[in-house]
A and B are shown apart, each in its own frame.
Chain A
Amino acid sequence: MFGLDKKDTSMLIIVAFLTLFAPFILNPFPTDSAMAQFNAGYPDLMQRFVIFGIFAIGFNILFGLTGYLSFGHAAFLGAGSYSAVWMFKLVGMNVIPAIVLSVIVAGLFALLIGFVSLRRSGIYFSILTLAFAQMSFNLAYSVLTPITNGETGLQLTLEDPRILGVSATADGSIPVTSLFGLEMRSTFELAVGPWAFQFNAGYYLCALILLAAFYLSIRIFRSPFGMMLRAVKSNQQRMNYTGLNTRPYTLAAFVISGMYAGLAGGLMASMDPLAGAERMQWTASGEVVLMTILGGAGTLIGPVLGAGFIKYFENIFSKINDNVLHSWFSFMPDGMEDAAVFLLHPFIGKGWHLTLGILFMLVVIFLPGGLVEGGQRIKGWLSRRKSKDSDTSSETNPAE
């Protein structure tokens, strides 16, 4: 289906299912129950899941497929956000032109930076992108204040012209972002018994774009172009010696992943129309690296999983505090309860970054394929055990 083989089609369908039914899947606990804090089915967070998913998919095309570790991808996200907000300020509140412009601007920006950075590979490439990202951050933060509004960040105001829209709504407030009149913030609530499911227009727009982005990335992975990128990753020198110029391929990969980042930035601004320089800082680029590695670089679904995982933990896990822990361990005797809470305390709540850092290190050290490889290993281990249990006699020993 869609020009994909059976395995990829089923993966696409799984992702489609997960994204389209996310309001149900992320909302498994009744609203009043004690577990309700683990529900992630509210629009803000769901939007963040898919937007960072898109960002990570794009990053994966560069890092996972081509092997170039960029530490500057947040610059494209920031460029996308700024251009989307400018579109809202100048043209109108429709999200389509904003998203289109953000992809184009980020693509051009990536072309410029990629053209320069891709002259080097390895750590030099990482440091070049790092330098470019930090430079863009400083530009956005202070130098380009007329465009980026410096440290305050770019916001909508009542004085903006908005040629194709209104500067202010009838009641004198700033209009909201919309898709041909369908407001991005409009949310339909469905109450089923004790559950309350929220269906948000903005989320579904992002989810559909994520599906398109995911489909495109599958096609890129399976195309001859993708094969070429893999070849670059495994041995670029050999490619060059065979007389093939790899530069156009790597540059194309860089620009595509930059456009993905710009798309994510544009969507981010469409959901919440403001843009700030801190989105471009190099630690923000580090975040997408964490996502991709944690999920599994070079795999199709890994980056999406990683982005979801990190954003879920950032928002849900960090809300667990000592009181919650005390209630969890209340079945233990007093001393043990306190000891357990004391031991877990540094890793929860505000300390969740510590957990993330440790987890990330463990993944890099022991599981270079990320969560996806972890899942495959568990699956392989289970199926081996099963086959051992059911049939031990048919095991064949290869002839030496």
Chain B
Amino acid sequence: MDAILLQILNGLDKGSAYALIALGLTLIFGTLGVVNFAHGALFMIGAFCAVTLQRILNLSFETVDETQTDFLGNPLKVKTPYVEAWFGPEFGGSIIDWAVPLAILFAIPVMIGVGYVMERGLIKHFYKRPHADQILVTFGLAIVLQEVIKYFYGANPIQTPAPDALNGVMNLGAIIGMDIIYPVWRVVYFFFAVLIVGGIFSFLQFTTFGMVVRAGMADRETVGLLGINIDRRFTIMFGIAAAVAGLAGVMYTPINSPNYHMGMDFLVLSFVVVVVGGMGSLPGAVLAGFLLGILESFASMNEIKSLIPGIDQIIIYVVAIIILLTRPRGLMGRKGVMED
């Protein structure tokens, strides 16, 4: 029983990352009709926002500390981060410690900016061109972004730890009288994902802006004829989708140290998730993200692996292929959309 609960938790956790990326991906497909192969790169840029903030906060100056000496009797040089000097060692130190959560604030404007520039500068010109061209140009863009990151940050993974307070483990099962030891940050990640998903859904459901966007998704031309500047709203939605991917990346950094090819690694999976959920269906993407995450973590249980060796490596693809062949519009896709 414990093991099963633990696998469900693991799955929800993996699923959170899938769901967040797939949500942005399907938001872009649903509004603009663009297949964005650069979405993984946006996830990666988000992760590197956290790295950047961590580096900025750690900028430090050197002072000579006369009270301490090294083994030759010379005074030691001590590095003090500027933040600690300004805010005092205690408060400054905790700011540095909380670099990853703080990076959320930093990443939102950056990601919206990146998304805005991307849509206005490149994707805008590809609405009328075939899907193959969209895939190709965004694939090229993904390579470029990946290489730029590699140029500035190097090819090695960069450690970005979670704040000390959230870095340990907790016993989740205490409430129901069981022992389920689980890393705190992963729980935080799950709730963060739920928060973002809930935020996006209520934004689309309860605001006028969201209503117009939904109307535009259903029938772009008519909404345009009503005198609403739907293009501008879609651009904003692209920015929001980029921000969702970026935030997923920021919060993911303590789980897996960011490296320059993490975007490409996640891209294939998130496409699979989108397709299983139904191209353009937001609830579908979220549902499929969590479902596939849970499925994957169950397949990686030893009991199942001993029955069917290697199943954990391919289960997602097998499911995706079966879904695509039997129900091309995906779990929650609209009837008639992309059912060719």
Contacts and interface: CB of A to CB of B under 8 A. Distances in A.
A and B, one complex?
Answer: yes
Contacts of A130: 268, 271
Nearest to A351: B151
Given A353-B143, A356-B143, A127 B317 contact: no
Contacts of B309: 143
Interface in B294-340: 309-310, 313-314, 317-318, 320-321, 324-325, 328, 338, 340
A357 to B, nearest CB: 4
A141 interface: yes
Q: Is the interface of B mostly helix, strand, loop or mixed?
A: helix
Interface size class of B (residues with CB under 8 A): 35 or more
Interface string B105-141: 0000000000000000010010000011101110111
Nearest to B313: A138
A377 interface: no
B144 interface: yes
Which of A116, A121, A286, A368 has its CB near the most chain B CB atoms (within 10 A)? A286
A360 B143 contact: yes
A276 interface: no
Interface string A314-339: 00000000000000000000000000
Interface residues of A, number: 40
A152 to B, nearest CB: 16
B151 A346 contact: yes
Contacts of A127: 271-272, 275, 324
A245 interface: no
Contacts of B318: 135
B139 A289 contact: yes
A132 interface: yes
B35 interface: yes
A198 interface: no
A135 B317 contact: yes
Given A361-B141, A364-B140, A69 B135 contact: yes
A124 B328 contact: yes
Nearest to B340: A121
B317 A120 contact: no
A283 B143 CA distance: 10
Interface string A106-131: 00000000001001111110111011
Contacts of A293: 136
Q: Is the interface of A mostly helix, strand, loop or mixed?
A: helix
B132 A132 contact: no
A131 B317 contact: yes
Contact of B340 (A120, A135, A138, A365): A120
B264 interface: yes
Contact of B147 (A119, A135, A144, A351): A351
Which of A132, A351, A365 has its CB near the most chain B CB atoms (within 10 A)? A365
A134 B317 contact: yes
B148 interface: yes
B147 A132 contact: no
Contact of A361 (B144, B314, B324): B144
Interface string A175-195: 000000000000000000000
B140 A67 contact: no
Contacts of B317: 131-132, 134-135, 138
A298 to B, nearest CB: 12
A368 B136 CA distance: 11
A357 B151 contact: no
A161 to B, nearest CB: 26
A282 B271 CA distance: 13
A139 interface: yes
A282 B268 contact: yes
A142 interface: yes
Contacts of B132: 67, 69, 122, 126
23 contacts: A67-B132, A69-B132, A69-B135, A69-B136, A119-B325, A123-B279, A124-B275, A124-B324, A124-B338, A127-B275, A128-B321, A130-B271, A131-B320, A131-B321, A135-B314, A143-B310, A282-B268, A283-B264, A346-B151, A354-B151, A357-B146, A360-B136, A361-B141
Interface of B: 35, 122, 125, 131-133, 135-137, 139-141, 143-144, 146-148, 151, 264, 268, 271-272, 275, 279, 309-310, 313-314, 317-318, 320-321, 324-325, 328, 338, 340
Given A126-B131, A126-B135, A365-B125, 11 more contacts: A116-B321, A122-B131, A123-B338, A130-B268, A131-B272, A134-B317, A138-B313, A138-B314, A351-B151, A356-B143, A357-B147
